[in-house]
Structure 1
């Protein structure tokens, strides 16, 4: 396996914020779509891209909630989209393509985590269907607009949750193995990372580059709403008074810090000519070696990505499977 998983270094770090990494970047005339752009790091991503001059479109399942959240992001557009509903993905993409605009930046930030076993109308496990397949279909339908940008970037928000599980091609939807919420989450986040690898390979000749990112742990985004209080406490993300612990060196970040890596991947001139890599702390992550894996798994202080999450053969296989699953 070959990989470009080597820190640049970028000059940024775990405590860098989205505003810091985008400083000096002018996005006037650029168009961005940010899924999940009305809460958590998605909202901060939308805000910062808009402040740099980009036209920003936020797809949302709850239009009223999205419009309320984006009141402080003047000019942000809100359109209906449900990542678990293929018809709504097609409708959103058709409306965007009909506008005739190129798409310079697509940030796939929407996601769910550790949910009880739920299936969509097709019978697909919901975390895999939402976090990966919905975004896969969205990219496929928006492909003409990405190519038209003549230099587009797609950012897939993955997670250090890749450690919870590889993609089980023999049982993607937990039809034969016992369902475990974090194993399903890990599979979906590994799928996000693999998606960026193969998307970049397929798109680079047409000017479409892709990146996967680990944003860090940002407890107040609402992503952990299905996680028990005991698990949250054991993770050390809250202090004895129930307040979020801030320690970027352990990936315990603010929303502003959590949005930084995705914004850096979407906009930084340092990444010109690069792609298909997994990033964190606003830099390219190192590849975790077999000798370092135990240390990496033991704590969040050690950056890196597991080899199975950037394996080009697995990425190509996932792409083919995803094409079949999304027709």
Structure 2
């Protein structure tokens, strides 16, 4: 049975900002980790959580660079970690667990998109390894701190791009099939949604709930650096001079608007007692039956919702088993 993707009528929408959705919520005494927190949507998420009183740690491959990017946000801690390096993930988690702090919010936001074929040291395709497997391992290693929170949330930042492809469980790392950048990206974003679904099912008895989401299309993040500029112009994402076009109704948002659904999933009391859901525009998303391909960017921007294959518990279980095998750990 698929998840029940039913709207909760949050009162917010596509144009809402992170500051608006967190208004009145006090996170004093709460701990948060935000991957990808030194740029784009991650940085706006960090800024918002800190303003509400949370203690925030940001993992980063380049610590000095991340510290410079976050120097206007007081009190953020930056620790070294690389999602393509399993040893660095384990070291980061050990460091956090050694503090004795509970972890109330884990926002898995870091990601790469549609890049040329690259592999990590294990031979895993880089999008699947960065966007999914690294976050799977990080969440597993941080589990004691999440369980200790007595009510934690894990937020997986996915994308409308999950519609490009389901997970190929027989060949997730493109060892036998031709590599296609958008197919790899779509697979990794589908994996984000399935991971949230699988985690929520296994973790809810410990008080840990998980959500996934599409934040919107934000030209200012740099995520789409491998997309030809003319494609973005033709789709109406940027103007001819490269300036972002803002139209929340078409999912074209500012970073503040894009971070709103992330923050809403992480903190909204409207979601208390719920989990495993895919969200967009600060609400639970409906089902979507249409698919898109890499040439259909303009069509993608008019679509909303989640593909049924991304919220299928059987697929979530299969991904969980595959992820444990590839990462080499047993999680829950």
- The answer to whether residue 261 in structure 2 is matched with residue 261 in structure 1 is yes
Whether the 8 Å CA contact 1:6–1:287 is kept in 2: the answer is: no
Count of residue pairs brought into register by the alignment: 325
Structure 1: gaps of 5 or more residues: none
Separation in structure 1 between the aligned mates of residue 130 and residue 31 of structure 2, nearest angstrom: 23
Pairing 1:16-95 to 2, within 5 Å after superposition: 16-95=16-95
Q: Which moved more, 1:309-318 or 1:294-303?
A: 294-303
User: Which residue is 1:119 aligned to?
Assistant: 119
Task: Report Cα offsets for 1:179-209 as digits up to 9, x if no partner.
Answer: 1101000000000000000000000000000
1:299 Cα deviation after fit: 4.3
Coordinate RMSD, CA, aligned: 1.5
TM-score by length of 2: 0.95
Could you tell me whether the CA contact under 8 Å between 1:36 and 1:42 is conserved in 2? yes
1:300 and 2:305 are equivalent in the alignment: no
Q: Is the 2:2–2:308 Cα contact (8 Å) retained in structure 1?
A: no
**What is the 5 A alignment of 1:315-326?**
315-326=316-327
Deviation of 1:233 after TM superposition, in Å, equals 2.1
1:250·1:299 contact (CA, 8 Å) conserved in 2? no
Which whole-Å CA distance do the structure 1 matches of 2:80 and 2:33 have between them? Answer: 12
**Counterparts of 1:10 and 1:300 in 2: how far apart (Å)?**
22
Aligned residue number for residue 218 of structure 1: 218
Deviation string, structure 1 residues 22-43 (Cα, Å, up to 9, x no partner): 0000000000000000000000
Q: Which runs of 5+ in 2 are unaligned?
A: none
Question: What TM-score, normalized to structure 1?
Answer: 0.97
1:143-154 paired onto structure 2 within 5 Å? 143-154=143-154
Which piece of structure 1 moves more, 220-229 or 193-202? 220-229
How far did 1:46 drift?
A: 0.4
Q: How far apart are the structure 2 equivalents of 1:131 and 1:86?
A: 13
Given the superposition, is the C-alpha separation of residues 84 and 299 from structure 1 closer, same or farther in structure 2, using an over 3 Å criterion? closer
1:184 paired with 2:184, answer yes
Equivalent position SS for 1:155: strand
Q: Deviation at 1:77?
A: 0.4
Measured after TM superposition, the shift of residue 3 of structure 1 is 1.4
Partners of 1:245 and 1:147 in 2: CA distance = 42
Q: Residue 249 of structure 1 corresponds to which residue in structure 2?
A: 249
The C-alpha deviation readout for 1:60-86, integer Å capped at 9, x for no partner, is: 001011100111110000000000000
Say if 1:18 and 1:264, in contact at 8 Å, map to a contact too: yes
Contact 2:216 2:253 in 1 (8 A): yes
Contact residue 163 and residue 297 of structure 1 kept, 8 A: no
Q: Quote the Cα distance in structure 2 between the aligned partners of 1:92 and 1:86.
A: 10
- Cα pair distance change 1:296/1:61, threshold 3 Å: closer
Aligned partners of 2:2 and 2:311 also within 8 Å: no
| 2:166 is equivalent to residue 137 of structure 1 | no
1:228 CA displacement: 1.7
